[in-house]
Every structure is written in C-alpha cells, then in structure tokens.
Amino acid sequence: MLPATTALLLIDCQMAWDDPYWGARNNPGAEGQIARLLAAFRQAGHPVIHVKHNAKDPHSPLHPAEPGNAFKPEAMPLSTEMVFEKSVHAAFIGTGLEAHLREQEIDRLVIAGFITNWCVSSTARMANNLGFKAVVVHDACATFAFEDPFGEMVPADTLHRVGLTELHGAFAMVLGTDDLLAMV
C-alpha cells in the first residue's frame, strides 16, 4: 500500500512529443500506462501533480505559442489538480513544486512522463537530493534517439534503459506500471 503522503508527478505529458521534430521514439505505450496510473491515483484519492514544459526557443514544439505545448488527452489535468510550469529540465527549478510538496506533507513521488533521460531523470535526481523518495515508472516514460558527442545516433531504447539504470537505486526505485498499481 502506498503511504498517503505519495503523489503522482506527471512530467511534460504534452502533444509536442508526437511531433516528427524529435525523431524516433521508444515505448509507444507510455501514454496508455500514464492513463492507467492517473486513473488509479485519482480513484485512490492520492494527489496528482502535472508539470508542463514551456520552451523558450520559439522554434520548439514545446513553446507556449505552439499547439504541442498542450497536454496530451491521456494526461489532461483536472481543475482540482496542481499544474506547475517550467522552462528547464528539473521540475523543481523556478516553480513552487518543492514548497507545495512540503506544505501538503508529500514525501514520496511516483514519476512518469517525458522524456526519460532529460526531464524525468533531472526531476527524480533533484527530488532525491531534496529528501523526497521517488519511484520512476519505466513503462510510463519514453525518450528519443539522440546524437552522441562523437556523431553517432544512440537508439531511444538504449538511452531509456541507461537513463533508468542511472536512477535505479541511487536516486529512485524503478518499477513497472503493474507493480506500482498493485501498491495503490
């Protein structure tokens, strides 16, 4: 059973990730798993917190003037759920997220969203550094293939796995949706 002090933290579940701008993506089922988590947390009465990325680059699909800035339908916030907006990778920077968690006496975060090795990882690492316990739900996250410093493309599945491996044990526990839902 998850303690009552646990919140679901959805990172950057926005339409921009469907844009071909990003290239090849892994885990096409991430949105379905996010929807399952969201439904379970809402039904159990656990807090749900959404984070939205507002890119400063006007050419980014995540820029506030672009349609990609909108939330994905599977992760649409309710009017009663907190939404924090950021323009950097970690959800704690430039937002009131930490203060909100402390005010609500939330000390555990279940983290899902986009993208695994950027904003999800940065947020999980910072959560740990700030004293929060974190679980990253591996099949409710996704990433893209990126070019490494040597000019070679690293496949999305590899980056996803390495990003999760770096988090597991040191910064967060990494679980699948089914395992997490068994605790809600």
Q: State pLDDT tens for residues 91-122.
A: 999 999 999 999 999 999 999 999 999 999 99
The residues annotated as belonging to the active site are 119
pLDDT band at 53 (very low <50, low <70, confident <90, very high): very high
pLDDT of residue 19: 95
pLDDT of residue 167: 98
Locate the domains of the chain by residue range: 6-181
Q: What percent of the chain has pLDDT over 70?
A: 100
pLDDT of residue 9: 99
pLDDT of residue 172: 98
Euclidean distance between CA atoms 166 and 122, whole angstroms: 11
pLDDT band at 15 (very low <50, low <70, confident <90, very high): very high
Residue pair 146/159 in contact (Cβ under 8 Å)? The answer is yes
What pTM, to 2 d.p., does this model score? 0.98
Give residue 167's identity as a one-letter amino acid code: L
Helix ranges restricted to H, 14-120? 30-44, 97-103
At the fourth CATH level, the homologous superfamily of domain 6-181 is: Isochorismatase-like (3.40.50.850)
- The mean per-residue pLDDT over the stretch 122-141 comes to 98
* DSSP string covering 99-164: HHHHHTT--EEEEEEE-IIIIIHHHHHHHHHTT-EEEEEEEEEE-B-EE-TTS-EEPHHHHHHHHH
- The mean per-residue pLDDT over the stretch 138-153 comes to 97
